[in-house]
């Protein structure tokens, strides 16, 4: 499947942002830690979520769709703690089932995680944390096997700030006996959202959103109804779509505080950014200014927005330097952008970007989720027709992406083959 688009239209209008994928993945895992029913609202309808729900169904979780963006889960009939299917290996967040099942059943066997191919992505900090709670945690036959008789609170100092390890260790420790401290914890909004959701189930977690999280173990969790926060990265992607198409887009259902690092870079590049209670309006300018960026854990500039800002810098006046400090292999899309006329040199984890006046349409391939979305932004700002192939990556994390873009005036469609692509070309000229 590919997107085909005709660039050049400024995107104008309003777009409603979905629930946060990376919060939802942790929250779904949390939901099966009680035998009561749990209702999750504002759940994004994206592939990663469907894969996780399918894997949970396979182990006995009852999953009832109560609306397009809500689900009722019951983990009272889980019949196995082994999670290992071809799909779960493709996503990152299967690892949250390790923490959730270890906490609830004191044993978990979960396939090693996949996710975007953006670096080596070890999970040593997750395993180190499980061990600090008294568990054994080993990798055998491509699975993590974690086991414990007495899960007891412990003191965990993460060697590096890890979103996944922080959430996984919160999951594992809420049902441990005694107190757990996670130091050098990640502070991302989705960490806070998972903690809030667990607390609404009866957990006792304090300090989420700071770098020290304290958990007092409880005996049992109970049912809840919980609404997931808006997706910071989806919102940021649409804000940059406004900038690169010189458009005027209001993103609705956002938490402006979560967007500060992104908003401030757009301001630095000369865009107008207006904040409302739960919306942000971005007005692009005919000429974007350059800036330098370094990706950092929250509240720094998110690595998941790095490809999108690079597209904007590639169309800005002057030179911008982008340093990727989280993942070592997140510039794979640069060769694709070069096909559109971008001038970017990458050395190690630094991209030096000399802005050009315009892109021209080309046939591109998405190398991963956020890079794929960034290539779509590039196509929408380019002269002529662009195709972006392998959009399965993009569908992992963006709900109704082309429909939301169409709602802002973008000329973009999903096509399955060359015949359909040809029809599009004839129609739009």
Ligand X SMILES: CC(=O)N[C@H]1[C@@H](OP(=O)(O)OP(=O)(O)OC[C@H]2O[C@@H](n3ccc(=O)[nH]c3=O)[C@H](O)[C@@H]2O)O[C@H](CO)[C@@H](O)[C@@H]1O
Among 17, 25, 30, 185, binds ligand X (CB under 6 A): 25
CA end-to-end span of the chain: 21
Q: How many residues does the chain have?
A: 429
Give φ, ψ of 205 to 5 degrees.
-120, 130
d(CA 90, CA 110): 13
Nearer to ligand PEP, 146 or 369 (CB): 369
- CB distance 301 to 262 below 8 Å: yes
How many chain residues interact with ligand X (CB under 6 A)?
21
We find the least distance from the C-beta atom of residue 303 to ligand X, in angstroms, to be: 5
Q: Say if residue 387 is preceded by a cis peptide, omega within 30 of 0.
A: no
Is 343 annotated as a binding-site member? no
Active site residue 291: no
Binds ligand X by CB under 6 A, chosen from 126, 214, 258, 404: 126
User: Mind giving me the DSSP string for 175-220?
Assistant: TSBSEEEEES----HHHHHHHHHHHHTT-EEE-BTBSEEEEE--S-
User: Residue from 7, 75, 153, 164 that binds ligand X (CB under 6 A)?
Assistant: 164
- Rounded-to-integer distance, Cα 150 and Cα 234, Å: 41
Per CB under 6 A, does 237 bind ligand PEP?
Answer: no
What is the x/- site pattern for ligand PEP, positions 7-26, by CB under 6 A?
---------------x----
Q: Which does 162 bind (CB under 5 to 8 A by kind): ligand PEP, ligand X, none?
A: ligand X
What is the rounded distance in angstroms from the CA atom of residue 134 to the CA atom of residue 118? 32
Q: How far is the CB of 360 from ligand X (least distance, A)?
A: 30
Pairing of strands 363-365, 385-389: parallel
160 binding ligand X? (CB under 6 A): yes
Q: Please name the helix (run of DSSP H) or strand (run of DSSP E) that holds residue 62, with its range, or none.
A: strand 62-67
d(CA 10, CA 65): 37
d(C-alpha 272, C-alpha 285), whole Å? 8
> Shortest Cβ distance from residue 372 to ligand PEP (Å)?
10
Q: Is 303 in the site for ligand X (CB under 6 A)?
A: yes
Q: Is 122 annotated as a binding-site member?
A: yes
Angle, CA of 274, 275 and 280, to the nearest 5°: 85
List binders of ligand PEP among 354-373 (CB under 6 A): 369-370
Look at residues 272, 268, 215, 212 and name the one whose alpha carbon lies nearest to residue 239: 272
Q: Does 46 bind ligand PEP (CB under 6 A)?
A: no
Residue nearer to ligand X on the CB measure, 259 or 288: 259
Residue nearest to ligand X (CB): 164
Q: In the Cβ-directed half-sphere of 156, how many Cα atoms lie within 13 Å?
A: 36
Among 241, 326, 337, 380, binds ligand X (CB under 6 A): 326
Residue 189 in the binding site for ligand X (CB under 6 A): no
User: What does the DSSP 8-state code read for residue 9?
Assistant: P
Q: Does 31 bind ligand X (CB under 6 A)?
A: no
Single residue of 38, 93, 192, 312 touching ligand X by CB under 6 A: 93
Residue 304 interacts with ligand PEP (CB under 6 A)?
yes
| Contact positions vs ligand PEP (CB under 6 A) | 22, 91-92, 115-116, 304, 369-370, 397
Which residues carry out catalysis?
116
| Contact positions vs ligand X (CB under 6 A) | 22, 25, 92-93, 119, 121-126, 160, 162-165, 186, 303-304, 326-327
């Amino acid at each position: 499947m590919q997107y085909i688009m005709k660039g050049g239209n400024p995107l104008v209008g309003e777009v409603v942002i979905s629930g946060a994928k990376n919060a939802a993945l942790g929250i779904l895992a949390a939901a099966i830690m009680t035998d009561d029913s749990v209702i999750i609202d504002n759940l994004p309808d994206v592939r990663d979520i469907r894969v996780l729900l399918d894997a949970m169904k396979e182990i006995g979780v009852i999953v009832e769709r109560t609306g397009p963006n809500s689900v009722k889960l019951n983990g009272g009939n889980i019949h196995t703690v082994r999670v290992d299917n071809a799909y779960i290996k493709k996503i990152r967040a299967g690892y949250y089932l390790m923490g959730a099942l270890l906490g609830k059943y004191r044993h978990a066997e979960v396939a090693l995680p996949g996710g975007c191919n953006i670096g080596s992505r070890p999970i040593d900090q997750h395993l180190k944390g499980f061990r600090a709670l008294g568990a054994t945690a080993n990798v055998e036959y491509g699975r993590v096997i974690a086991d414990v008789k007495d899960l007891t609170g412990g003191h965990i100092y993460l060697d590096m700030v890890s979103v996944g390890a922080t959430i996984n260790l919160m999951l594992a420790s809420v049902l441990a006996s005694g107190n757990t401290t996670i130091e050098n914890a990640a502070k991302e909004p989705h960490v806070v959202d998972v903690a809030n959701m667990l607390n609404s189930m009866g957990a006792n977690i304090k300090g989420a959103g700071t770098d020290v999280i304290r958990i007092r173990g409880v005996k049992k969790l109970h049912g809840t109804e919980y609404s997931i926060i808006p997706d910071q990265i989806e919102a940021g992607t649409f804000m940059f779509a406004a900038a690169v198409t010189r458009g005027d887009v209001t993103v609705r259902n956002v938490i402006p505080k979560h967007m500060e690092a992104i908003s401030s870079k757009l301001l630095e590049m000369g865009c107008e950014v207006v904040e409302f209670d739960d919306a942000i309006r971005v007005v692009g300018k005919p000429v974007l200014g350059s800036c330098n960026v370094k990706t950092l854990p929250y509240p720094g500039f998110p690595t998941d927005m790095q490809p999108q800002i690079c597209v904007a810098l590639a169309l800005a006046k002057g030179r911008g330097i982008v340093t990727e400090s989280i993942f070592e292999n997140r510039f794979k899309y640069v060769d694709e952008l070069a096909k559109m006329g971008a001038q970017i040199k990458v050395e190690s984890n630094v991209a030096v970007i000399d802005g050009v006046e315009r892109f021209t349409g080309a046939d591109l391939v998405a190398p991963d989720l956020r890079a794929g979305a960034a290539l779509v932004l590039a196509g929408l700002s380019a002269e002529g027709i662009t195709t972006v192939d392998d959009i399965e990556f993009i569908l992992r994390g963006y709900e109704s992406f082309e429909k939301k873009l169409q709602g802002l005036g973008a000329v973009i469609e999903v096509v399955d083959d060359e015949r359909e692509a040809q029809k599009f070309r004839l129609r739009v000229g």
